Amino acid sequence: MQETSSIQFFYRDLAIVMAMALFVIYAISRVVYPKLFASVYSYARFFSTRLRDDFGSGIRLFSTENFYFTAVLSLNFSFAAVCLYLFTPSVQATIPWLAIESMGKGLLVWLLTAMAIQFLFFLKFLFVAWFGWLFGIPTDQSRHFSEIQLMNNGLSVVMYLILAISLFGRFSFPEFTVKLILATLAFYLVFRFFNLFLKIRNLGASSNLYIFSYLCSTELIPTLLGLNLLV
C-alpha cells in the first residue's frame, strides 16, 4: 500500500512539473508573439462558422511561428496523453514496457511523444493537401488545415485547464477527470466536423454533398480508424 502511494505521489509530481513547464511556455509565447498568441487562441474564431481574415490567418504553414505554435500544441497534447497513462491503470496495462520510474524518463517520454504528435500533424497536412487537390478544394482557399490547428489549440487550452485544476486544486487526479477529458474530446470531434463543414460551405464553391464527402475522407474516416487502432 505504501509503495502504491509513493508511486502515485511521484506520478502527481511529474504531472505538476509538466504543467508548470507548459505554463511557462504559454507565458513566454504571450510575451514574444502577443498578436499571434491572441489569434492562435482566439475563441471568437473557434466558434465562428465563417473563415475570418485576421493576423493569424496569413501565417505560412511552414513558417517559424507556425512551427513553434504547433510544437506548443504537440507538447500540450503529449501532456494530456502522459497524464492519461500515469493515472489510468488500464492504459498502463496495455503498455507494460513503458514503466515510467524516474522524473527524467517521464520528461523524456513527454518530449518524445510531443515529437511524434508533431510528425503526425505534418502527415495530416500532407493528407489534407492531397485530398484538397483530389476534390479540387485548394488549401489556400479552404484553409482547412489552418482551421483544424486553430480548433486544436482551443481544445488544448481547455484540456490543460481541466488537468491543471485537478492537479493543483486537489493535488490528485480523480477518475472523473479522465472521463471529462474523453467526453470533451468526443464533443470536440463532432463540433470540429460540423464547424469545418459550415466554414467550407460558406465559401459557396461546392455542394453540400461534395463538402460532406470531402470531410468524411479527411476527418471522419481517419478519426474512426485511429480510434479503432487505439481501442
State pLDDT tens for residues 172-205. Answer: 566 677 778 888 888 988 898 898 888 888 877 6
pLDDT digits 0-9 by tens, 79-110:
999 988 888 877 778 887 888 888 889 999 99
Domain extents for the chain? 2-36+47-230
List pLDDT tens digits, range 43-61: 888 888 777 665 445 556 6
What is the pTM assigned to this prediction? 0.85
User: Cα(159)–Cα(139) distance, rounded to whole angstroms?
Assistant: 28
Angle at 213 (CA atoms; ends 209, 214), nearest 5 degrees: 115
Model confidence over 102-134: pLDDT tens digits?
A: 888 999 999 999 999 999 888 888 887 787 777
CA distance 3 to 163: 24
R_g (Cα) of the chain, nearest Å: 19
DSSP letter at 192 equals H
